[in-house]
Amino acid sequence: MNNLHCKCILACVLSLGLLGLSSELGAQENKPPADAEAKSGDAASAQAPDSRAGQAYSGMYTFLKEGEFVQVTVEDQGHVTGFVSRFGDGESDKGAFLDQFFKSGKLEGNKLSFTTEIVHGVAFDFKGMVERGEGKNPGDEAYFVLKGTLTENASDVNKKVTSRTREVAFKMFPQDAGPPPTVRR
């Protein structure tokens, strides 16, 4: 009887699971009116290519010195998040690894701009473009390059701000490649 009791409980659990699954499937089959579907389909197709292209720019790029980098993440509607990881240059943070998150960032087409938070008296502003680099295939090193003007704003103990502007080109790091495809014979 014990074995029969376990089988009955198992059958009830499976039935309830299938019942819940069928109600979820039924809810997914409810479609909006044809004219609403056409409008949402047009909007989705109009935004999809731009958002996919922008998301391809997401990744890790070189920064000013060896071992430093900038992480760029393109989200919906061209909103950009990320951070700069760099070595400190001041007396109190010389050689320390500092992360500076984006305070703001946006991508319009291939035009990229971001501003970092102030960390240890230093903030960065970048205004430029995402361009195709020398990498041959997506995932290759330097497939994309951030080219533009980087402004470093540093404030001293007296809150005097010194700005330093320079032209930069930050290369995308190579992406980890998946395992090679298996050849079937």
Question: Domain segments of the chain: what residues?
Answer: 57-171
Two tokens, residue 24: 């979820």
Two tokens, residue 114: 């971001």
Residues 42-87 have pLDDT tens digits of: 443 344 445 567 899 999 999 999 999 999 999 999 999 999 999 9
pLDDT band per the 50, 70, 90 thresholds, residue 175: confident
Query: What DSSP designation does 77 have?
Result: G
Give which of 49, 97, 68, 82 is closest to 168, Cα–Cα: 68
Other residues' Cβ atoms within 10 Å of the Cβ of residue 145: 21
Confirm if 120 and 88 have CB atoms less than 8 A apart.
yes
Q: What fold is seen in the domain 57-171?
A: Lipocalin (2.40.128)
Confirm if 148 and 112 have CB atoms less than 8 A apart.
yes
